[in-house]
Structure 1
Amino acid sequence: MRIGIIGAMDEEIALYLEAMQQTKQTVKAGITYYEGQMEGKEVVLCKSGVGKVNAAVTTQILIDTFQVDRVIFTGVAGAVHPALNIGDIVVSTDCIQHDIDVSPLGFAPGQIPFTEQWVWKADEELMQQAIAAGQKLEADVQVVSGRILSGDQFVASREKVQWLYEQFEAHCTEMEGASVGQVCAMNDVPFVVVRSMSDKADGSAHVNFVEFTKLASERSYAIVRNMLTAASEGSSVIVYSTQNCIDCNLVKQWLTAKGLAFEVRDVMTSRAYQEEVERFGFMGVPVTVVGDKAVKGYQPAELEQLVSSLSSN
């Protein structure tokens, strides 16, 4: 698995550059892509630059040239939800471009005209991994999931913050995430955006922006690092699943009761699923895979036999 990690600014990728074992650097469209290893995982790191166009170009190159299987966008944002404070973390449930406004023609604010989709949902598995990783941070850090807004503007007024909160029920605002989400969705690549609050998006950012950006970047980095560490420590058991699947939930509960770590992959977004279909000759959900063996459906006896190979390895 190859993971693409994007930050918009130098401060947002500096810690990754220090931590990763680089193997190669490539410049495309003026953007430097760093290939290497981090926490035992294969990663491609890059700085997109600020703004939606930069982020979209960067993401498409990550997918086309570097063949990443999933994308994590990490960095800082301005808090919109009144319960958030500087340093708190928001993990995206979905993303919207708040600065698209064709409402005079009858479209909702944020809606892309003449298209069915304009809310870009984060991958459920990545979202849960990020939340779990955030729970390993200091006790005073609030980690929540919620809607992230993107626009080519630095929001700096209380009135605008109030409008964004009321109109979109948003948690925070930044300048890249929704375009990353759109490009990923168009290419069927799972994504999640992880943002730490550097300011309240209310005009007070100038007070200690540099200091708060450093703190926020450190916390965003810590979450992604924890995500990679957990994946590396992770399991030999993979469960291909989908939402609202009763048997999928039964398999997960069975594995949990056995005390087994497992990785959940959504069949709607996992590129590996089709390969597994061809390898094992059946499709549908759930499919539980251990090495070169698999069990379809919720079948405790067969699952018991499947996972017994783990203790003998």
Structure 2
Amino acid sequence: MLLSRWCALMVCAAAPLFALAAPRCLTECTPRIGIVSAFGAEADILLAQTQGKRSHVVSGKTFTTGVLRGNPVVIVLSGVSMINAALVTQQMLDHFRVERLVMSGISGGINPARRVGDVLVPERWAMPMEVYWSDDARVPSPCGSAKADVGCLGLRLARGADGQPLPSFSLPASGAASVPTGLFMRENHVLHAGNAPRGEYRFDYPVDARMLAVVRTLAPALARCGPRARQPSGAPDPAQCVAQTPRLVIGGRGVSGTAFLANPHYRQYLFEQIQAETVDMETAALAHVALVNRVPYIAFRSLSDLAGATEFNADVGALFSSGLAETNEAEVTLAFLAAWKKQGARP
């Protein structure tokens, strides 16, 4: 009798612990591709083509399950910002059995060779705005005599191919001198079941090789005029079309940060120092969460403008007013899903 009571008490006491340690799929356990969209208009296009839709509300956020281009999916709108992207991605992974992640939305251009409307698929993402903010351009050494020793603070500075810390950002000034900001890029610490308890530092988050290989087979028909670029007669309105047909551009590095980047000097710094192609405020946060949870990911981004550009560009207005931004972005996402299904790959 006493033993039975002891066992009952132990089960009751352990129940909350087991609940905390429960596996994923708190809401639904069908293997799915998770699609996190940062742009509401594009999410609407994907949802409109999803079959067998069912909505699930988690902490006020609506997750929609269904089948899209033959793939079981769950779709959610993240909202702008690194924090929102990280939060909603972890919620998705906790509540659904997500075996692969797709991030999609709008981004700013960094590489001046890219054009408004191009859809970019970088092969890796980074967070260069995670920084050590020093007082000048000298490499900091708060933890000892060695330069770049910031380990006592639990930090590590980002380094270039030569193994040296990347230079800090400086602003141009009148005359020959520049104004140092003391902003040094640093790496992020990542801890997961595979590298615990020490974890690892990393600057880049590579996308999934299998998913990227499928993207390289795509030839989506990207439009130059959005669905709303119409004259009263119904003919395309040239004033609402971008000057050149957008392209699918694969490879390079994308970057994300908490700042809305509208500074051409910082844009040039990112291009020169880390050869960044595009910047947004969500993808690298999703990539961090994906790595921690050991879930493969990829991201598609449609360029809205050259980040921080001050000159007028009619293509920027045309991209949004005509609906071209979401149309082309969705076209690439849908083409990828169709190709993924055709290859017979599991979610």
Question: 5+ unaligned residues in a row in structure 1: which ranges?
Answer: 236-262, 266-271, 273-313
**SS of alignment partner, residue 83 of structure 1:** coil
The CA deviation string for residues 13-47 of structure 1, in whole angstroms up to 9 with x for no partner, is: 11111111243211213221011111111010000
* One-letter amino acid matched to 1:141: P
Structure-1 residue corresponding to 2:277 = 171
Which of these two proteins has the greater Rg computed from alpha carbons?
2
* One-letter amino acid matched to 1:93: E
TM-score, normalised on structure 2? 0.63
Matched, 1:230 2:339: yes
Matches within 5 A, 1:53-68: 53-68=83-98
Distance 1:205 1:124, change over 3 A: farther
Identity of aligned residues (%): 28
Matches within 5 A, 1:128-207: 128-133=213-218, 135-138=219-222, 140-144=245-249, 145-204=251-310
* Contact 1:15–1:221 (8 Å) recurs in 2: yes
The CA deviation string for residues 81-118 of structure 1, in whole angstroms up to 9 with x for no partner, is: 12100011211211111211116443231422694223
Higher-helix-fraction structure: 1
Distance 1:110 1:171, change over 3 A: farther
**SS of alignment partner, residue 171 of structure 1:** strand
Structure-2 residue corresponding to 1:80 = 110
**SS of alignment partner, residue 252 of structure 2:** strand
* Contact 2:110–2:306 (8 Å) recurs in 1: yes
Question: 5+ unaligned residues in a row in structure 2: which ranges?
Answer: 1-30, 135-139, 141-147, 149-156, 159-184, 190-198, 224-244
After TM superposition, give the deviation of residue 64 of structure 1 in Å: 1.4
Q: Which of 93, 99, 119 is the aligned partner of 1:89?
A: 119
* One-letter amino acid matched to 1:89: V
* One-letter amino acid matched to 1:10: G
* Contact 2:116–2:246 (8 Å) recurs in 1: no
* One-letter amino acid matched to 1:180: L
Work out the CA distance in 2 between the residues paired with 1:172 and 1:166. Answer: 13
* Contact 2:222–2:328 (8 Å) recurs in 1: no
Structure-2 residue corresponding to 1:239 = none
Distance 1:185 1:102, change over 3 A: same
The CA deviation string for residues 239-284 of structure 1, in whole angstroms up to 9 with x for no partner, is: xxxxxxxxxxxxxxxxxxxxxxxx5x9xxxxxx9xxxxxxxxxxxx
**SS of alignment partner, residue 335 of structure 2:** helix
| Higher RCO (CA-CA < 8 Å; seq separation 6+) | 2
Structure-2 residue corresponding to 1:5 = 35
The CA deviation string for residues 122-165 of structure 1, in whole angstroms up to 9 with x for no partner, is: 001111222323x2324933222221100112211221210111
Distance 1:173 1:28, change over 3 A: same
Structure-1 residue corresponding to 2:188 = 112
Distance 1:13 1:138, change over 3 A: closer
Distance 1:205 1:33, change over 3 A: farther
User: How many residues in Structure 1 have an aligned counterpart in Structure 2?
Assistant: 237
TM-score, normalised on structure 1? 0.70
